[in-house]
Amino acid sequence: MAYGGTDKRKYKRLDTRVKVEVSLYDPGKGKTVPRSAESRNVSAGGLLVTIERPLEVSSYVLVRFTLPGETEQHDFIARAVRVEEIEALRRYDIGLEFVDIVVGDMEKIDEYIADELGKE
């Protein structure tokens, strides 16, 4: 599902659920033990994921996922830009903005979204 109305986002978003691995990232120390998450939506600029434990806003994470119908795994460094508790589920929605992404990967995500939106 696409977001309509007065949304002024730079990239189109697609509601899609994929398994995501999220690891805290510190350039000096590397990554931590990965946490399992699930995407709620994806764009060429970032992801909204649901996860069991919160992240701090502005923390950096290594994100790893595979788009539906693909075998290639995508790895990005992202920054948490929003954290929202979902009390009923005891989980957190985390808005992640990609900060280190290969242009080719960004294009693949954008193409996937365009193809899926074209089916609606």
Stated pTM of the model:
0.84
User: Is 105 strand, coil or helix?
Assistant: helix
pLDDT at 1: 43
8 A C-beta contact, residue 63 and residue 75? yes
How many other CB atoms sit within 10 Å of the CB of residue 48?
19
> 14-119 has which fold?
Thrombin, subunit H (2.40.10)
pLDDT at 52: 93
pLDDT at 11: 80
pLDDT at 40: 94
Its sign, for the CA torsion 18, 99, 7, 117, is negative
* pLDDT tens-digit readout, 15-26: 999 999 999 887
Q: Domain residue spans in the chain?
A: 14-119
Q: Token pair 């995501």 is at which residue?
A: 20
Which tokens is 81 given?
């830009």
Which stretches in the chain have pLDDT values below 50? Answer: 1-6
